[in-house]
């Protein structure tokens, strides 16, 4: 430095520093202003964003509310529609049942069978869709109650064998002793799943037995129950296993077309098993059949097997006499339903008092008067719930017989209230004959199980004749007749048939011999009708050949056919004369 001794600063240096400072300050001010403006813009932006977020949130909330409302509306619509469809469908099915009972014309009977099959199919679809929509809406409720899997499986198999199609199908039950007698679970849902599996097994196989197995192994919770339903049908290719339990999926095969359905059945089963905390699966070999299984950990209520129960197990298959001659009160306002229930009751040999609404039911009821009350829920003036409540309010609890509710509504919806007022069980309307019968048996036979056991022996003797007779008949017709007439009635009917047939065969032969083949044909027609009504298929075939004689150019003489027919009538005669 040249001027290190001089502490003063030159004027020009001073001016330069002042100018630099002035510039720096100016820059600072400009930057400050820019900063302020940037800040203002930023907060305006932020405010705008906040408002945008609020608007969006409000819009979303509104959209969500709308979607929720739409979903509720949709669920309600589906529930209402399925209810609306189920009611007339039940009426149709009931009327078909009633028509079928009195129908002797085989041609019309066939048509009625088709109508019934179509109606049942439709009913199954409606129920599936309803269940599915309930699951979608998350209102599918699971209960916990005592479950007797033996009785459950038995009643399902009875239902299916009695509803059987043209060919007789055997459902074999193999319930292992390891299976607890009673355990805690949801009987309705287990019934639904097993029922569905059996129904599938029947639909996807044309012959061979359906085997229902149940076993139990020890489990931390009590027992691990495993049920299997095995068929010998078309089977399923392994690559389709995963799709089976998906919604709306069906495995295509030659039987699918005949089987039809929504493809919801197994999806519903899967969801039910998920809901119960269990598993469902399948083992299958294409062409060799399938085994569907469910596994469920259950809490055991009662492990031991009552031997008396096993004894009566076989009995349940035939009509137990404990419902015969009982007196029941039916509260029902709908005329068609009244007619159906009355006809059903008549078939069961049950006498009936009818009440058109809840109020009349309360008036009519008195202790000791009825063995059971069938109570419709929705009725004018007073509904079934209120009527039940009033009956219990008026009379001591132990003097009121079992009350079974009938409802076309979704059973879950009224379940809580029903139990509260004292209704024993809820039956879903439209109720098929067999289900009503089973329900009545279940309820009434409990109270008369001892009486049932006492008349065990004579019943067995009769059943041997009846079994021989049934062996001659088409299973469907035989079961039906047995249901309507009981064993004694059936034998009596067969007796009348034999007498009638013998006379007609005589007349037929006489007519043919006198050259009046036309008159002989007419007799053939009448005999055919009677044979079909009784389910004697072979005889009906012979009668048909007479009716349409000659059916071919090389047909044997009519008299020979008549003699063959006569021999068969004699065979029936021998059976019933035992």
Partner 1 sequence: MKGTIFVELIKMAENAFGEDTVDEVLDKADLENDGAYTTVGNYPCSELVKIVVAFSEHSGTDAETLQKMFGHWMLTHFVEHYPQFFADKKDAFSLLDSIESEIHVEVRKIYPEAELPTFITERTTPNQMMMIYASPRPLGAFCHGMIEAALAHFDEKGDITSQVNITIPTVTNFEITLQS
18 vs 451, beta carbon nearer partner 1: 18
* Other beta carbons less than 10 A from residue 475's beta carbon: 19
Residue 330, token pair as written in the block: 């039916």
- Interface residue with partner 1, options 5, 7, 10, 399 (CB under 8 A): 10
Q: How far is the CB of 8 from partner 1 (least distance, A)?
A: 10
18 vs 559, beta carbon nearer partner 1: 18
- Integer CA distances (angstroms), 448 to 315, 324, 347, 461, 563, in order: 14, 11, 20, 21, 49
21 vs 76, beta carbon nearer partner 1: 21
For 365, residues 6+ apart whose C-beta sits below 8 A from its C-beta are: 329, 373, 391, 395
Q: If phi over 0 gives left and psi between -120 and 50 gives alpha, with beta otherwise, what is residue 219? A: beta
**Which stretch, 2-10, 149-157, 324-332, 426-434, contacts partner 1 (CB under 8 A)?**
2-10
DSSP output for 138-183: T------EEE-HHHHHHHHHHHHHHT--SS---EEEEE-TTS-SEE
Q: How far is the CB of 2 from partner 1 (least distance, A)?
A: 4
Q: Binding of partner 1 at residue 28 (CB under 8 A)?
A: yes
2 vs 242, beta carbon nearer partner 1: 2
Q: Binding of partner 1 at residue 33 (CB under 8 A)?
A: no
CB-based contact 404:344 (threshold 8 Å): no
- Interface residue with partner 1, options 16, 33, 369, 525 (CB under 8 A): 16
- For helices 475-513 and 517-534, give the axis angle rounded to 10 degrees: 170
Residue 383, token pair as written in the block: 């509904």
13 vs 394, beta carbon nearer partner 1: 13
DSSP 3-state assignment of 550?
A: coil
17 vs 145, beta carbon nearer partner 1: 17
Q: Binding of partner 1 at residue 3 (CB under 8 A)?
A: yes
Q: What gap in Å lies between CA 239 and CA 229, rounded to an integer?
A: 20
**Which stretch, 23-31, 112-120, 380-388, 530-538, contacts partner 1 (CB under 8 A)?**
23-31
**Which stretch, 1-9, 161-169, 365-373, 444-452, contacts partner 1 (CB under 8 A)?**
1-9
Q: Binding of partner 1 at residue 17 (CB under 8 A)?
A: yes
Using CB under 8 A as the criterion, what x/- string covers residues 464-503 for binding partner 1? ----------------------------------------
Q: Binding of partner 1 at residue 72 (CB under 8 A)?
A: no
Q: How far is the CB of 38 from partner 1 (least distance, A)?
A: 11
Burial class (CB in 10 A: 0-12, 13-18, 19+), 551: exposed
Q: If phi over 0 gives left and psi between -120 and 50 gives alpha, with beta otherwise, what is residue 357? A: beta
Query: How far out from the chain centre does Cα 78 lie?
Result: 18
Q: Binding of partner 1 at residue 1 (CB under 8 A)?
A: yes
38 vs 503, beta carbon nearer partner 1: 38
Q: Binding of partner 1 at residue 457 (CB under 8 A)?
A: no
Q: Binding of partner 1 at residue 42 (CB under 8 A)?
A: no
Q: How far is the CB of 42 from partner 1 (least distance, A)?
A: 15
20 vs 453, beta carbon nearer partner 1: 20
25 vs 381, beta carbon nearer partner 1: 25
According to DSSP, the residues that pair with 225 across neighbouring strands are: 216, 296
For 129, residues 6+ apart whose C-beta sits below 8 A from its C-beta are: 78, 82, 262, 264
17 vs 488, beta carbon nearer partner 1: 17
CB-based contact 358:382 (threshold 8 Å): yes
Q: If phi over 0 gives left and psi between -120 and 50 gives alpha, with beta otherwise, what is residue 570? A: alpha
- Interface residue with partner 1, options 5, 7, 21, 572 (CB under 8 A): 21
Q: Binding of partner 1 at residue 27 (CB under 8 A)?
A: yes
Q: What gap in Å lies between CA 44 and CA 50, rounded to an integer?
A: 10
CB-based contact 290:284 (threshold 8 Å): yes
Q: What gap in Å lies between CA 380 and CA 382, rounded to an integer?
A: 6
CB-based contact 174:133 (threshold 8 Å): no
13 vs 525, beta carbon nearer partner 1: 13
**Which stretch, 10-18, 38-46, 209-217, 420-428, contacts partner 1 (CB under 8 A)?**
10-18
24 vs 454, beta carbon nearer partner 1: 24
**Which stretch, 6-14, 107-115, 255-263, 308-316, contacts partner 1 (CB under 8 A)?**
6-14
Q: Binding of partner 1 at residue 19 (CB under 8 A)?
A: yes
Q: Binding of partner 1 at residue 20 (CB under 8 A)?
A: yes
Q: Binding of partner 1 at residue 12 (CB under 8 A)?
A: yes
Q: What gap in Å lies between CA 189 and CA 274, rounded to an integer?
A: 11
Q: Binding of partner 1 at residue 552 (CB under 8 A)?
A: no
Return residues touching partner 1 (CB under 8 A).
1-4, 9-10, 12-13, 15-21, 23-24, 27-28
């Amino acid at each position: 430095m040249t001027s290190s001794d001089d502490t003063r600063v030159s004027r020009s240096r001073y001016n330069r520093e002042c100018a630099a400072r002035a510039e720096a300050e100016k820059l600072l001010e400009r930057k400050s202003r820019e900063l302020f403006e940037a800040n203002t813009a930023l907060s305006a932006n932020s405010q705008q964003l906040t408002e945008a977020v609020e608007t969006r949130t409000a819009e979303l909330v509104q959209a969500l509310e709308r979607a929720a409302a739409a979903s509720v509306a949709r669920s309600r619509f589906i529930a209402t529609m399925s209810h609306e469809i189920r009611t007339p469908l039940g009426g149709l099915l009931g009327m078909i049942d009633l028509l079928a009972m009195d129908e002797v014309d085989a041609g019309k009977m066939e048509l009625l069978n088709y109508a019934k099959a179509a109606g049942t199919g439709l009913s199954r679809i409606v129920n599936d869709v309803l269940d599915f929509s309930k699951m979608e809406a998350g209102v599918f409720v699971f209960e916990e109650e005592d479950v007797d899997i033996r009785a459950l499986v038995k009643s399902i198999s009875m239902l299916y064998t009695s509803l059987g199609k043209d060919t007789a199908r055997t459902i074999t039950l193999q319930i292992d002793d390891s299976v607890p007698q009673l355990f805690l679970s949801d009987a309705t849902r287990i019934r639904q799943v097993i029922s569905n599996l059996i129904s599938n097994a029947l639909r996807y196989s044309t012959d061979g037995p359906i085997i229902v197995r149940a076993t139990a192994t020890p489990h931390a919770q009590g027992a691990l129950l495993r049920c299997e339903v095995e068929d010998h049908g078309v089977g399923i290719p392994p690559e389709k296993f995963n799709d089976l339990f998906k919604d709306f999926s069906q495995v295509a095969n030659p039987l699918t077309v005949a089987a039809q359905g929504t493809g919801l059945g197994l999806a519903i089963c899967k969801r039910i098993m998920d809901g119960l905390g269990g598993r469902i699966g399948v083992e299958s070999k294409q062409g060799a059949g399938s085994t569907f299984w469910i596994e469920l950990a259950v809490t055991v209520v009662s492990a031991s097997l009552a031997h008396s129960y096993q004894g009566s197990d076989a009995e349940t298959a035939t009509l137990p006499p404990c419902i015969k001659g009982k007196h029941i009160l039916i509260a029902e306002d709908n005329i068609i339903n009244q007619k159906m229930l009355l006809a059903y009751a008549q078939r069961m040999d049950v006498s009936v008092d009818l009440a058109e609404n809840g109020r009349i039911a309360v008036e009519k009821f008195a202790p000791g008067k009825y063995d059971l009350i069938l109570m419709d829920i929705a009725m004018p003036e007073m509904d079934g719930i209120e009527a039940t409540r009033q009956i219990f309010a008026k009379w001591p609890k132990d003097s009121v017989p079992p009350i079974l509710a009938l409802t076309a509504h979704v059973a879950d919806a009224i379940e809580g209230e029903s139990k509260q007022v004292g209704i024993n069980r809820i039956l879903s309307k439209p109720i098929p004959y067999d289900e009503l019968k089973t329900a009545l048996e279940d309820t009434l036979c409990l109270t008369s199980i001892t009486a049932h056991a006492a008349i065990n022996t004579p019943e067995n003797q009769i059943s041997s004749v009846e079994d021989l007779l049934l062996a001659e008949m088409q299973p469907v017709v035989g079961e039906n007749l047995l249901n309507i007439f009981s064993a004694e009635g059936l034998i009596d009917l067969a007796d009348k048939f034999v007498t009638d047939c013998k006379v007609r065969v005589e007349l037929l032969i006489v007519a043919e011999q006198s050259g009046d083949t036309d008159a002989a044909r007419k007799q053939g027609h009448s005999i055919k009708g009677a044979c079909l009504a009784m389910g004697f298929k072979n005889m009906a075939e012979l009668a048909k050949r007479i009716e349409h004689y000659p059916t071919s150019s090389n047909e044997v003489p009519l008299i020979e056919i008549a003699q063959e027919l006569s021999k068969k009538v004699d065979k029936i005669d021998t059976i019933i004369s035992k």
